[in-house]
Amino acid sequence: MEPTYFIKPEKLTLNQKKLKYDKIYNEMSDLLKKYNVCDIHIEKGITQCIGKILMSYEDTTGKLCCHNCRHLTKHGCRVKALSCKLWICYSAIENLCNILPKEDLIYFFGMKKYLHQQLRIYHIPAGARDSKRENFKI
* Sites of contact with ligand SF4 (CB under 6 A): 38, 49-51, 53, 64-66, 69, 71-72, 77, 79, 81, 84, 88-89, 91-92, 129
**Closer residue to ligand SF4 in complex, CB, 51/115:** 51
* Three-state DSSP state, 112: helix
**Closer residue to ligand SF4 in complex, CB, 18/52:** 52
In angstroms, what is the minimal distance from the CB of 86 to ligand SF4? 11
CA 100 – CA 2 distance, rounded (Å): 41
Q: What beta strand segments (E) does 1-138 contain?
A: 41-43, 46-48, 72-73, 76-77
**Closer residue to ligand SF4 in complex, CB, 12/66:** 66
User: In the chain, what is the greatest distance between 2 CA atoms, to the nearest angstrom?
Assistant: 63
